[in-house]
Structure 1
């Protein structure tokens, strides 16, 4: 059982998620970066009230060439245009930094976005394949691997995802 996927499978799966998003009235956008090389990603932007301030959350689902898995990139902007700092991101998602003898479940770090070349936080993909194997989420070929991964990641970050994505 493989818990990785090819770029072509990733692109097919994000198109499926995007199509379902249109049906559900969710606001994912399919971004086509390079049609010739079939480089695409999903983007979702939402605004919400947080600590008496309107913030903008941006989520990108991007394919990792190195790990052959989807990767979540996140940025959160305050109403004045400034980006959340590391400690603010961890507080917002209620994540805890663990002692050195504990293995973190989620690792959010900042790096340059691979397409936009701007700083973004991202969930490091090193554990994605391992998680997918552990939960047996990569075993059913008829179901969308990227959607399974997305529901797992969003759940861990306490980000709502419509259960109707799982329905045929």
Structure 2
């Protein structure tokens, strides 16, 4: 989409569907417990999906539960 002031292409991420697709990421083995998902795990997961649009690659090891203290 074109930026309204700079008149250049830019990425715009609309937050409407974020909660639905993030829930899909945490289904199965990584399902959130009653306390929810840890903020760091949520952010790494979010960046692993959204960051691909701009070439950001998150190492798989960052999502591995065994690497967390």
After TM superposition, the score normalised by the length of structure 2 is: 0.46
Q: Which has the higher contact order (CA 8 A, sep 6+)?
A: 1
Structure having the larger proportion of residues in helix: 2
Between Structure 1 and Structure 2, the one with more strand by share is: 1
Per the normalisation by structure 1, the TM-score is 0.24
